[in-house]
């Protein structure tokens, strides 16, 4: 099987949910997509923290 994301030839594709869509990707891509999710979450938290920080300085 070939991973549609990285075009890597793999034994098995895994199904994951990303951006509300089901994707079939290889294990490496699963890890990368999950990492992106975590980064997106972290960015949201960082943004909130920044707003609180600005509010506190005033
Ligand atoms: Zn892949």
Each residue's pLDDT tens digit, 28-39: 999 998 898 888
State the pLDDT at residue 40. 84
Does residue 8 lie in a domain region?
no
Does residue 37 lie in a domain region?
yes
Q: What is the pTM of this model?
A: 0.67
Q: Which has more pLDDT, 19 or 27?
A: 27
List the domain range (segments joined by +) for residue 52.
Answer: 14-57
- Region 19-27: mean pLDDT is 90
Does residue 46 lie in a domain region?
yes
User: What's the structural domain count of the chain?
Assistant: 1
Residue 47 to residues 18, 26, 37, 42, 52, Cα–Cα distance (Å): 22, 32, 15, 9, 9
Ligand 1 centroid to residue 2 C-alpha, Å: 8
Ligand 1 centroid to residue 7 C-alpha, Å: 6
Does residue 7 lie in a domain region?
no
With a cut of 90, say whether residue 20 has pLDDT above it: no
With a cut of 70, say whether residue 58 has pLDDT above it: no
Name the residue among 25, 2, 3, 5 with its Cα closest to residue 15. 25
Ligand 1 centroid to residue 39 C-alpha, Å: 19
With a cut of 90, say whether residue 1 has pLDDT above it: yes
């Amino acid at each position: 099987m070939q991973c549609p994301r990285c075009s890597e030839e793999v034994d098995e594709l895994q199904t994951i949910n990303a951006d509300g869509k089901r994707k079939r990707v290889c294990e490496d891509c699963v890890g990368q997509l999950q990492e992106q999710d975590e980064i997106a979450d972290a960015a949201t938290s960082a943004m909130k923290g920044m707003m609180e920080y600005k509010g506190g300085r005033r």
